[in-house]
Structure 1
């Protein structure tokens, strides 16, 4: 479908679906979902969403229930001390460690707008409105010392969680933002939602080998189902696990969770699998296939128990194009 209808095509003229539609990322994403969904008719799996990245700064997501999201990324650099004025020196050092010293980050923020259906106007917010909002946020934050130079943050905790919430609140004065994700590092982010939800995520890579093989299937069945991934010698991946916790934002500390505790829980859960052949050297996959679905399901209780059942989502990238997700329901 992608090759025949989209790839290397002038969509305005070559794809009849867009003859009367504005070619926004949201409209392309929605059309892709409608084109691909029938492939799953009669299948136990069903298509729930299509993610489309137009550029590193622009993406969209279309959901099977009709909802649509527009995402805009921007960068800024800033210095800070991770501290709360409501905590003692000892409490700050216990919670934030070396981050209480002055340091800097190259931040990357994602602004998300959401509608229950594709709106009649060309996009969720015009390009002029989005550009103006990003300019305003950069003026407030870029090349600033967040503790000293941003008036709206004075006397408040300076954490990744509080900063994501500040961007959401500040941006929502201009556009109806649904949520904001803020990466202070590639492997660590906070996310603030319009409904008050707050989330904190951590990523951790690990390398392991496996073979996709079901013991109860014939060789022919395994070959048909898994193709070259059924190679008897196995193959390897550099997996990336992403654990996200949710909960109440603590106004006193400005924190949702302890960075070191989150990282430790993730690393300890992964440690027995690191640099191993999952089928031959781990107990979890001696009798079950080491598919991405099974790996992420086996990881969930290990991490969730270490985090006192605060885990809300666990993602596992097997490759850049293969991602598996478990969510708390």
Structure 2
């Protein structure tokens, strides 16, 4: 029986985005504040995922041994260090979150049956790397606040109450939505980046956060005049809005996760999915 287990680790380190072949002005233009001397730091959180068959003791790997390997090969070397100078790999390709995850995989792969490396630079930015050469998936978390009412124009008030319960009440209700946008692409062999983070954040803000924040979705967002704004429909619509502008940045929209409340969330897996027909009202069958 195959099983995946995850081991968490932490390290604190600093880094700087700076290419010596560029002038100071060129570095500032490309990397912004991240180019400042002598650099900046993060409290990184690392999740190492291992896959394998359960042994006679009911384990994929002895986690005490896993802990030692991660410490010996990664955290003891990186903790309280200046990443640009610690590992030779970071002299060729900058220590972006994407590239740090890639090199951690390379360091651990000879010792552990890896299936995923997840590295958090901070709670709103993280990377997943799965051993596919220079490919990585980067996730940005953001938020917006909005109200909605769950009710289909095809149904009576009583029928909507039957389906949506309290969410169908006439004046609606609100949520503080948390949105996770994941994109997949190839790391640049020099900068270590799969995408310009500022440009990606600007796209998310322009197409989603600014239009959606502090709105009544049913009335302020034209799409939801005829489409019930469930968390699922909101997430799917966000994917339609972001797919093309994200692709223009040179990466592929991988996943949209919308967290409506601590109890409710949904995920839309976007790669190879067609979003061209997302319009019009949801067809709700008549109640029997």
Question: TM-score band (shorter)?
Answer: 0.7 to 0.9
How far apart, in 2, do the equivalents of 1:170 and 1:163 lie?
11
Matched, 1:281 2:220: yes
Is residue 158 from structure 1 mapped to residue 100 from structure 2 by the alignment? Answer: no
- Structure 1 segment 1-329 matched on structure 2, within 5 A: 68-84=3-19, 89-101=24-36, 102-115=39-52, 119-121=54-56, 122-136=58-72, 137-150=74-87, 153-196=90-133, 197-270=135-208, 271-308=210-247, 310-327=252-269, 328-329=271-272
Higher relative contact order (CA 8 A, sep 6+): 2
- Structure 1: how far apart are the matches of 2:90 and 2:218? 51
Deviation string for 1:137-195 (max 9, x for gaps)? Answer: 21011111111244553443121111111111112122121111111111111221123
Instruction: Quote how far apart the aligned CAs of 1:204 are.
Output: 1.0
Q: 1:88-146: per-residue Cα shift (whole Å, max 9, x none)?
A: 6555333321111211111111111134xx53442221111221123222101111111
How far apart, CA to CA, are the structure 1 residues paired with 2:26 and 2:8?
34
2:92·2:190 contact (CA, 8 Å) conserved in 1? no
Aligned-pair distance for 1:294?
0.7
Secondary structure of the residue aligned to 1:253 is: coil
Q: What is the CA-CA distance between 1:221 and the residue it aligns to? A: 2.9
Q: State the alpha-carbon separation in 1 of the partners of residues 20 and 242 from structure 2.
A: 31
DSSP 3-state at the match of 1:170: helix
C-alpha contact (below 8 Å) 1:201/1:245 kept by paired residues = yes
Alpha-carbon distance in 1 for matches of 2:157, 2:93: 62
Are the structure 2 counterparts of residues 69 and 91 from structure 1 closer, same or farther at C-alpha, using a change threshold of 3 Å? farther
1:285-314 deviation line (CA, Å, top 9, x unaligned): 111100011101111122122112621111
Q: Which runs of 4+ in 1 moved over 6 A?
A: none
**2:55 & 2:95 partners in 1: Cα distance?**
40
Is residue 106–residue 184 contact of structure 1 (8 Å, CA) maintained in 2?
Answer: yes
Unmatched segments (≥5 aa) in structure 1: 1-65
TM-score (structure 2 length as normaliser): 0.84
Classify the secondary structure of the residue corresponding to 1:290. Answer: coil
Alpha-carbon distance between aligned partners in 2 of 1:319 and 1:291, rounded to the nearest angstrom: 12
Q: SS at the partner of 2:84?
A: coil
Could you tell me how far apart the structure 1 residues matched to 2:45 and 2:20 are?
25
Alpha-carbon contact 1:157-1:252 (below 8 Å) kept? yes
CA distance in 2 between counterparts of 1:234 and 1:67 reads 45
Identify if the C-alpha distance between structure 1 residues 90 and 168 changes in structure 2 by more than 3 Å, giving closer, same or farther: farther
Question: Which range is displaced more, 216-225 or 263-272?
Answer: 216-225
Q: 1:120 to 1:221 in 2, by over 3 A?
A: farther
Query: Any conservation in 1 of the 2:148–2:218 contact (CA below 8 Å)?
Result: yes
After TM superposition, give the deviation of residue 251 of structure 1 in Å. 1.1
Aligned length: 262
- Which ranges of structure 2 fall in alignment gaps of 5 or more residues? 273-288
